């Protein structure tokens, strides 16, 4: 990729002012923007940036009159003179039309900020030092997640060292970081901001001096070529050593693909395992390069093999054969383990040997004495009020509980049951409730629903964002973490997620009225109360308090949560007013995630097509899912790996992204089962997480020939047992590592994974990542026997 030109229209001025007259620019990322990935490598050393000619009137100098007048120089981050951005286009479309992502701010003074920062991005500014001195720079940053890292350079030489950006509490919650940049003599300099890793937003920089130094901003870039550019060797195409396929096997009628190294061979054979008996042969596809891993590969299609048994795939020129099985029950075990992982993440209870085996543990986090945090206090529940909210699932590798992430998780499990009730009703997980008159999946979901209900303020219907300790615990067992626990701030996002889940749950549990008397009505009432609070408080965004350091799950765009909650309430109440406020015709469908949940509404509408009122546009509902699935299927058909995963899909939790793609493709397939390409696209994504990937891992613990042994999960890390709890899916590869674990085996998006406990960026587990694994493995077992 070349450096993109920076050509400003005459009407675009630099917003530069003295420190004493600063207003500030800001920004706000959407909930999913932290997952925006790099799409290419930085440019080679020979690339250059085009200089821009900026109007002189747009520059305010702090030093033209006298040195004494200099009190500081404010530089708005969006007013660079050169740049490099790893992804094309201005995602938000604000302020400028080049390749840098700029968005509006809610920081003091309004304005704009740089967002969607990726490793390798840089911004260049031209400054003039009129009086030598020692200078320091203050950076205005915001982020909802850990991992941001950047540095300053002066004329291509490091001036600040690496600057780490700790979570500030949200994409619009701003903080200032100050660092010396050293002594500068009089002259012109290129100031460069080098982005080492995301996610964070950058608003402005303030440069000051305490010993007489003075500086102004120049409208002209220094030199013909940018000093920000550093030589970067482009990735080289390689040929992998191994055949890659689904390591747990295939159901008889599944599409069966394997990724084969691009050796000279043009054919493959399938042998009975452990013998030389050939059962089939086939032609390999032409060699092609998969961009996320820069591997040259071929595809072997052995879908015609339907007889159950154990086999080996063999290709001349590849040292090792690849074992696989074909079985009518191929995915039942991984599905049961994925679902039972939620039991292993239960809070407020002991796990007995009867149900947990060697993973038995003492109870931790009773959560019956939880304090109302100052951020959540009101007249009826002042700070320090003790409340009770036991049960629920630990969110991920930590011991905290978050409504936003519980929302999509709980819904996905309920949606799986809605689609495949017979399958789940017949399943027994050996959990304490097994054997009662309720399917185990609903017993498990109930453990979390009861906690969620306790997170609603009974006085006004608002829902607290999270129940948490003030900081993350060490790697100890749950009973050893005795830190105080807090209910933290109500938020619109949490309240709407709660409303949607409770409305959906009220439908499902209405069929179990004798087991849960009055519960369905209670959940629907809770959903309506939450909806009313959200309508009255439509923009209460979560802002991380200064004394809380646990996960933020901040989300400053809740239009998708309003759509989802309205859809669920419409389906259960049949009140057309809810459908009207959805504005369905103006709402698209995409791959869901915790911060983007509108497609969960489309899923529910599709699942209840036959019972919707006349107000619903059923054709539109089908079209939304069909268009999404068609796009996923097309990407799969064009991929060297035979999978829809592309470079931009390798964000934090990339495996959940793959599974959520699969889930949406399967939803569309169930609307029209003649579209077998949708089911095959889902199969390919499931195959990907189970071993057909560039790391050679089956990402689900305990399944496959090679699976993670050192997941970032406190119970698995502290229990003294070598093997982790089975059934958890690791987050998966992506290139932004947030300095969590030192070096990684490769910077390439699809290969950037390490099986180490310290790798919370690639090897952590999370409930919202496991939920689509449950849905997809059950769907492929039922729909593709």
| pLDDT tens digits for range 622-680 | 999 999 999 999 999 999 999 999 999 999 999 999 999 999 999 999 999 999 999 99
- How far apart (Å, rounded) are the C-alpha atoms in residues 338 and 777? 9
Q: 505: Cβ–Cβ under 8 A, 6 or more apart, which residues? A: 410, 414, 445, 449, 520, 523
pLDDT per position as a tens digit, 336-362: 999 999 999 999 999 999 999 999 999
| Residue among 346, 561, 525, 522 nearest 448 (CA) | 346
370-372: strand order across its sheet: 386-387, 370-372, 486-490, 464-468, 401-402
d(CA 330, CA 622): 30
Asked if the model's pLDDT at residue 321 lies above 50, the reply is yes
- Tell me: the pLDDT tens digits for 485-512? 999 999 999 999 999 999 999 999 999 9
Identify the band that residue 9 occupies on the pLDDT scale cut at 50, 70 and 90: very low
Q: Are 703 and 337 in contact (CB under 8 A)?
A: yes
Q: How far apart are CA 434 and CA 428, in angstroms?
A: 6
pLDDT for 207? 96
- On the question of pLDDT at 406 being above 60, the answer is yes
The reported pLDDT for the residue numbered 738 is: 67
Higher pLDDT, 417 or 4: 417
Tell me the pLDDT band of 42, cut-offs 50, 70 and 90: very low
Which are the contacts of 449, defined by CB distance < 8 A and separation ≥ 6?
A: 410, 501, 502, 505, 523
Mean of pLDDT values over 40-68? 32
Least confident window among 1-5, 295-299, 403-407 = 1-5
Report the C-alpha gap between 111 and 90 in whole angstroms.
16
Mean of the per-residue pLDDT values of the chain: 90
Q: Give dist(CA 163, CA 170) in Å, integer.
A: 18
Burial of 673 (0-12, 13-18, 19+ CB in 10 A): exposed
Q: Which two tokens stand for residue 770?
A: 């496991």
| Mean pLDDT (whole number) for 700-714 | 98
Instruction: Determine the pLDDT at residue 70.
Output: 66
Cβ atoms of residues 728 and 765 within 8 Å = yes
Decide if pLDDT at 460 tops 50: yes
pLDDT higher than 90, residue 91: no
Average pLDDT score over residue span 440-453: 98
pLDDT > 80? residue 243: yes
For residues 2-20, average pLDDT: 29
Looking at the DSSP assignment, which residues form a beta bridge with residue 71? none
**β-strands 370-372, 486-490: how paired?**
parallel
pLDDT exceeds cutoff 80 at 51: no
pLDDT digits 0-9 by tens, 105-120:
999 888 999 998 888 8
| Parallel, antiparallel or unpaired: strands 73-76 and 122-131 | unpaired
Q: Give the per-residue pLDDT at 229.
A: 87
Query: Which residues sit opposite 325 in a β-bridge?
Result: 310
Residue 615 has pLDDT above 50, yes or no: yes
- The percent of the chain in helix, strand and coil, each rounded to the nearest 5, is 30, 20, 50
Residues 6+ apart with CB under 8 A from 388: 367, 368, 369, 370, 454
User: Is residue 63 within 8 Å of 12, Cβ to Cβ?
Assistant: no
- Angle of CA points 41, 43, 44, to nearest 5°: 115
Query: Which of these ranges, 501-505, 604-608, 745-749, has the smallest mean pLDDT?
Result: 745-749
Whether 764 is catalytic is yes
3 state DSSP class of 251 = coil
Q: What gap in Å lies between CA 536 and CA 567, rounded to an integer?
A: 18
Dihedrals φ, ψ of 343, to 5°? Answer: -60, -45
CB-based contact 745:751 (threshold 8 Å):
yes
46 has a pLDDT exceeding 50 = no
> Cβ contacts of residue 754 below 8 Å, gap of 6+?
741, 744, 745, 762, 763
Residue/partner pairs of 266-269 with CB below 8 Å, 24 or more apart:
267/315, 267/316, 268/300, 268/302, 268/313, 268/314, 268/315, 269/313, 269/314, 269/315
Where is average pLDDT lowest: 511-520, 628-637, 729-738? 729-738
Provide the 3-class DSSP secondary structure of residue 268: strand
Task: Output 596 or 97, whichever has higher pLDDT.
Answer: 596
Cα 649 from Cα 693, distance rounded (Å): 13
> Smallest Cα–Cα separation from 97: which of 5, 33, 24, 172?
5
Q: What gap in Å lies between CA 574 and CA 569, rounded to an integer?
A: 8
What is the C-alpha R_g of the chain? 27
Short-list 80, 127, 126, CA closest to 101: 80
Cα–Cα distance between 326 and 444 in angstroms, integer? Answer: 30
In this prediction, residue 30 has a pLDDT band, given cuts at 50, 70 and 90, of very low
SS3 212: coil
E-assigned strand segments in 144-231: 148-154, 157-158, 163-165, 170-184, 187-197, 201-209, 214-217
Alpha helices in 556-701 (DSSP H): 559-573, 576-582, 598-607, 618-637, 654-671, 676-689
Find out whether 493 and 478 touch, Cβ atoms under 8 Å. Answer: no
Catalytic residue, candidates 301, 378, 575, 755: 755
CB 371 within 8 A of CB 464: no
Least confident of 57-66, 251-260, 367-376, 572-581: 57-66
pLDDT of residue 737: 78
Per-residue confidence band for 753, with pLDDT thresholds at 50, 70 and 90? very high
What mean pLDDT comes out for the span 522-527?
98
Look at 520 and 166; give whichever has higher pLDDT: 520
Of residues 329 and 13, the one with the higher pLDDT is 329
Q: Which two tokens stand for residue 61?
A: 């100098």
Task: Please tell me the predicted confidence (pLDDT) of residue 381.
Answer: 98
User: Rounded mean pLDDT of 181-207?
Assistant: 93
Mean pLDDT value of segment 699-717: 98
pLDDT the model gives residue 404 = 98
In this predicted structure, the answer to whether residue 702 has a pLDDT above a threshold of 60 is: yes
Q: What pLDDT does 54 receive?
A: 33
Average pLDDT estimate for 744-753: 93
CA distance 238 to 219: 44
Q: How confident is the model at residue 232 (pLDDT cuts 50, 70, 90)?
A: low
Determine what percent of the chain is predicted with pLDDT higher than 90. 82
Residue 568 DSSP SS3? helix
Indicate whether 43 pLDDT > 60: no
pLDDT (0 to 100) of residue 31: 31
Structural domains in the chain plus CATH codes: 16-217 (2.60.120.260), 235-330+627-785 (1.50.10.10)
Answer yes or no: is pLDDT of 309 > 60: yes
């Amino acid at each position: 990729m070349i450096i993109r030109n920076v050509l400003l229209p005459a009407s675009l001025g630099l917003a530069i002012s003295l420190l004493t007259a600063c207003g500030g620019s800001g920004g706000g990322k959407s909930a999913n923007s932290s997952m925006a990935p790099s799409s290419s490598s930085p440019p080679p050393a020979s690339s250059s940036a085009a200089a821009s000619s900026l109007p002189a009137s747009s520059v305010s100098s702090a030093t033209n009159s006298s040195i004494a007048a200099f009190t500081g120089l404010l530089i708005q981050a969006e007013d660079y003179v050169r740049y490099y951005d790893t992804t094309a286009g201005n995602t938000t479309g604000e302020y400028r039309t080049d390749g840098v992502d700029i968005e509006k701010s809610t920081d003091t003074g309004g304005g704009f900020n740089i967002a969607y920062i990726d490793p390798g991005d840089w911004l260049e500014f031209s400054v003039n030092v009129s009086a030598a001195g020692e200078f320091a720079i203050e950076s205005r940053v915001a982020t909802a997640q850990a991992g941001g890292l950047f540095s300053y350079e002066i004329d291509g030489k490091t001036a600040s060292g690496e600057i780490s950006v700790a979570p500030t509490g949200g994409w619009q919650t701003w903080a200032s970081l100050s660092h010396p940049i050293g002594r500068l003599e009089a002259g012109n300099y290129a100031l460069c901001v080098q982005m080492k890793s995301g996610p964070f937003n950058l608003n402005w920089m303030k440069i000051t001096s305490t010993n007489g130094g003075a500086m102004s901003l120049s409208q002209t870039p220094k030199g013909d070529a940018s000093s920000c550019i550093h030589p970067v060797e482009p990735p080289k195409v390689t040929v992998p050593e191994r055949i890659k396929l689904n390591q747990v096997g295939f159901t008889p009628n599944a599409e069966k693909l394997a990724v084969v190294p691009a050796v000279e061979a043009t054919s493959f054979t399938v042998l009975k395992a452990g013998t030389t008996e050939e059962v089939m042969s086939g032609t390999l596809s032409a060699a092609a390069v998969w961009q996320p891993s820069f591997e040259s590969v071929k595809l072997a299609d052995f879908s015609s093999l339907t007889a159950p048994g154990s086999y080996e795939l063999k290709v001349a020129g590849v040292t090792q054969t690849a074992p696989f099985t074909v079985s009518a029950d191929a995915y039942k075990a991984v599905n049961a383990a994925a679902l039972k992982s939620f039991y292993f993440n239960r809070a407020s209870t002991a796990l007995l040997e009867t149900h947990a085996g060697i993973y038995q543990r003492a109870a931790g986090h009773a959560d019956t004495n939880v304090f109302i945090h100052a951020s959540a206090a009101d007249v009826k529940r002042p700070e320090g009020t003790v409340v009770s909210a036991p049960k629920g699932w630990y969110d991920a590798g930590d011991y905290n509980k978050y409504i936003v992430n519980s929302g999509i998780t709980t819904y996905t499990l309920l949606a799986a049951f809605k689609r495949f009730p017979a399958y789940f009703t017949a399943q027994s997980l050996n959990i304490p409730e097994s054997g009662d008159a309720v399917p185990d999946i609903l017993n498990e979901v109930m453990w979390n629903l009861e906690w969620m209900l306790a997170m609603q303020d009974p006085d006004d219907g608002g829902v607290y964002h999270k129940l948490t300790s003030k900081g993350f615990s060490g790697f100890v067992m749950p009973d050893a973490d005795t830190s105080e626990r807090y209910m933290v701030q109500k938020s619109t996002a949490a309240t709407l997620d709660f409303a949607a889940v409770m409305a959906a749950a009220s439908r499902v549990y209405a069929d179990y009225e004798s087991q849960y008397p009055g519960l369905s009505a209670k959940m629907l009432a809770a959903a309506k109360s939450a909806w009313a609070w959200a309508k009255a408080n439509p923009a209460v965004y979560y802002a991380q308090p200064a004394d809380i350091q646990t996960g933020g799950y901040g989300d400053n765009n809740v239009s998708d949560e309003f759509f989802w909650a309205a859809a669920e309430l419409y389906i259960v109440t049949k009140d057309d007013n809810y459908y009207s406020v959805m504005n369905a015709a103006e709402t698209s469908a995409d791959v869901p995630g915790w911060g983007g949940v509108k497609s969960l509404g489309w899923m529910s509408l599709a699942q209840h097509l036959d019972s919707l009122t006349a107000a619903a546009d059923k054709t539109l509902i089908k079209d939304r899912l069909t268009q999404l699935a068609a796009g996923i299927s097309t990407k799969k058909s064009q991929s060297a790996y035979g999978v829809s995963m592309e470079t931009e899909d390798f964000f934090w939790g990339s495996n959940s992204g793959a599974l959520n793609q699969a889930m949406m493709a399967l939803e569309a397939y169930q609307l029209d089962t003649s579209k077998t390409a949708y089911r095959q696209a889902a199969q390919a994504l499931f195959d990907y997480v189970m071993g057909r990937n560039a790391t050679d891992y089956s990402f689900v613990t305990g399944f496959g020939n090679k699976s993670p042994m050192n997941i970032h999960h406190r119970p698995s890390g502290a229990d003294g047992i070598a093997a982790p709890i089975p059934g958890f899916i690791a987050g998966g590869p992506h290139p932004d590592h947030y300095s969590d674990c030192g070096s990684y085996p490769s910077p390439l998006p699809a290969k950037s994974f390490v099986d180490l406990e310290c790798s919370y960026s690639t090897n952590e587990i999370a409930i919202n990542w496991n939920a689509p694994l449950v849905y997809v493995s059950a769907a492929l077992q039922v729909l593709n026997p």
